[in-house]
Structure 1
């Protein structure tokens, strides 16, 4: 009796603008990033089943470092695979930055040990032009030092019930936040504030809940101590406003043996 050889598996590093999509995950009646990538892959391999991803981004959320894996019926040179996929992805705002051959046991989600997110907030009076749809805008100045002091109170192992969506499907609200940096960058007639977060995994709406709460701290409506009070309440009603999705980016996924290096 013959034995079927395993199908070659490839990791894909993916960049996308989430504005026209309902999120990463395929849906029946709305366009998704997963659907766009799978349809491009099926132009190359009609037998493709589906692809797995490191994380599911919500509607309107972007990525500069999403990772997915796929099993194909024939061997591809990774560079030629990425080039062919980018050709078939046009005109969708999705790009394959790199493809890599990986072991058939490698999994975009299960093999990952951390996720990194970036949130961009721009504080200026004039409307955004070049960054419209790519950042959250507020028209008042923000105290970045106060926001960093509030962010510091969220580091470490906590029950993050306050900062997760009521629709979150995670088995537990207990997570460890490894990094939360708040950086200010001068731009013409305003300031861009970048929030850098790193953890093994995140809860649904956790980053947007954090940033919306810290905006209240930066504006002076909350103090950094109020962040601790909200965290310890373990109550969604204690959270500050959840900010909009357009400033959020899945910036990277960490692996013990990074296939893209």
Structure 2
């Protein structure tokens, strides 16, 4: 009996000293379905979402919107929530860009869970879905970020092409970058754009759509370009109440 008890205690001490490594979230940087291009849009929901969506739908294309909870405005504001629901209802993919667009690698375990959870909750309340994809702000992550994201069922998504809108490129420069991308003919495209810039929504997006489609790409959501499910669950939207606030 004593030997058995000592053995059990030894196993417990070893387990405590060497804890099991939790599963880290997968980090996506490229699409996997040939001849697909995923146009993604960060930092909304902002007023130019409608321009982006209409350009995509007119071309029989879909995009992916990575939404913040409280960055360029509160996601629960009536106009912002309406944009989120509009994007989802039009068949675009809605996903997480975290709550406040913080540098995730500077945050603690609890702070990371809060950044992910609060925007997941907002998307579930507004659209009824729990997203399966998240984009880390600035593309920054470490093992702790991946561990928290993995626990929350999130796949992290970065990109292999940047339109440059967030670093000051003009519309003409972004359009030229898309021209050069199409001419290079990569197997797939995972493109970073930001819906919060008027020139992106009204000039660059229509050009990108036409250019990529002419080059033979099918414009799809991130989930479609990976042949994965976009959401962890799909249900009915919530009812607005006093808790819908930032």
TM-score range, shorter chain: under 0.3
Higher strand share: 1
Structure number with greater CO (CA < 8 Å, separation at least 6) is 2
TM-score by length of 1: 0.27
More helix per residue: 2
TM-score (norm 2): 0.28
